[in-house]
A and B are shown apart, each in its own frame.
Chain A
């Protein structure tokens, strides 16, 4: 499993000058980008990555932080169960995001 601190984290969770990443109250979630969403992962990353978020952020916030246009996410699952977009994320959660699906 590869670990990666998403660059967007730094943009979305401003740090105090001189503060290190580890001092921010944050949680790390494993994100799995299914289908073509994998292209929103940093190059060479595959479809799994760890994103650190400030505490209290939701699945919707996570999608914005990664930078996926919302119309391309049909739903997300936390720890294997589909959840609403306002689901608050906790440290160690695994979040799977899916594109719209058609046919079958």
Chain B
């Protein structure tokens, strides 16, 4: 129950499809979303494959709560192998596409193979078809989505790629409902390599829960007592732009390619400024928090800009002009580019230019070239052909390795690790390169009461966060609801009809984290890759709370060893056979 009971496989090589019964044993061990998507993915895919080959797959997986009225349950998990990092890549996208898959009668959709020519796939309840997409190829996500809705009907939910995905740019994302992205690690390029322009879904089936009265009671109580409280309602009043001022105050707002943690121009890109151009709020399916902000400014309309965009494409590029950030954001959304990685590579190019290492024709704060870069990257034209390959590639080609702000090839998001030492460990040990969504110790360090400038206790903190998020993204409860494990267990029990405890969820979180780690180990990743750029260890920040402090590499390495030991991994970060057996991972 809670599950549709079926998984749909679409093979683009042959243009055929098939359905399989949901693997109930896996559903019990991994629940749904991230965990179940990862389990399906690793069971079918060799870790050594080229991410852009037909052997790669894309697993779209819903959770047991998708399509119900449980708040914050409307997101969709997407798993593949990342062309940016070479690790496993799991990312989430909001909107309504997740529940729509459930309404069509599936827990997940798995895309395999490669079409000869561009195609789009349509899932209309039980009817599945693949169509030529020649007229859509070359278009942005907005045109693509609107044209497909015109063609198929307004009720279809569309998930598509723009020109960046078509051109296999490793920072290409998927876009749904015009403004929602599965952003990181290049899942858009994987779609592009399969010549899959879009996936369109319409469903009309009901979603069942085991006991409707009990389900409504649990959801109602949790909504009142845990969700709609002052702990979470910042999402509604502000949404993520609130973090601009919070991070700036805490000295962790990435500024000018992570040269500082405080940005003098923060006031024009903070939440108050975003609210001043906001037209209305927006929410994913069944969400009561509604973190989305529709803004119109500078001739552009976006749902955003989110904190990550304001930080990486704003302060980190020395840009304090909100109109410019919004236009950059709108361009990236349409071209299908991840704003975190795109902002990072622009900032890196600006620093290389300022230092005279290579002239990309732009310096911090230069708006005109900054606004041209997304188009150049997506089309791989001019400087865009280098920048499209990401910060690591550009550093290897031109220099600046010490300040190439990436981990495992994935660019660093909006939290400066020198002002939150545990966050450094979270980036280093994330399963997809530098990512803020595996553990978020900044909540306790930079914004909370823990000392940010120590490694003491941080290994356990990061592990706890990684397990919590792994299971949260498997049940699919949005990040922005700070729900307790106990209440997640109540939701899981109400959706599945079996008694789920918080201990079981904690263990499932650990199982999921070890499953992704094992894939990465088999893909060749070891301790040497679990690190941070030299800038973090060798340079100090100039301003703010962390000014003048060094983050000693030896301290970081000690914390990393402690992390491995607590996890039951060896000194190279490889899960031991005993640990894998204990977690029932094969």
Contacts and interface: CB of A to CB of B under 8 A. Distances in A.
A43 interface: no
Contacts of A100: 231, 443, 447-448, 482
Interface in A4-51: 34-38, 47
Interface stretch (B148-156, B202-210, B246-254, B344-352): B246-254
Interface size range of chain A in the complex: 20 to 34
A96 interface: yes
B440 A102 contact: yes
Contacts of B443: 74, 100-102
Given A75-B250, A81-B249, A104 B230 contact: no
Contacts of A96: 245, 249
Contacts of B9: none
B242 interface: yes
Contacts, number: 95
B285 interface: no
Contacts of B243: 101, 104
Given A77-B249, A81-B544, A104-B243, A36 B230 contact: yes
Contacts of A82: 249-251, 446, 545
Contacts of A102: 231-232, 440, 443, 479-482
B323 interface: no
A58 interface: no
A45 B243 CA distance: 22
A34 B248 CA distance: 14
Nearest to B413: A104
A34 B238 contact: yes
Contacts of A101: 234, 242-243, 246, 443, 447
Interface in B91-148: none
A36 B233 contact: yes
Contacts of A74: 443, 447-448
Interface string A84-104: 000000000000101111111
Contact of A35 (B242, B446, B545): B242
A99 B414 contact: no
Nearest to B419: A82
Contacts of A71: 231
Nearest to B250: A82
B435 to A, nearest CB: 10
B527 interface: no
A24 B421 CA distance: 45
Contacts of A35: 230, 233-234, 237-238, 242
Contacts of B545: 81-82
6 contacts: A75-B447, A99-B233, A101-B234, A102-B232, A102-B480, A102-B481
Interface of A: 34-38, 47, 69, 71-72, 74-75, 77, 80-82, 96, 98-104
Given A101-B246, A104-B414, 15 more contacts: A34-B245, A35-B230, A35-B234, A36-B230, A71-B231, A75-B448, A77-B245, A77-B250, A80-B248, A81-B251, A82-B545, A98-B249, A99-B234, A100-B443, A102-B482
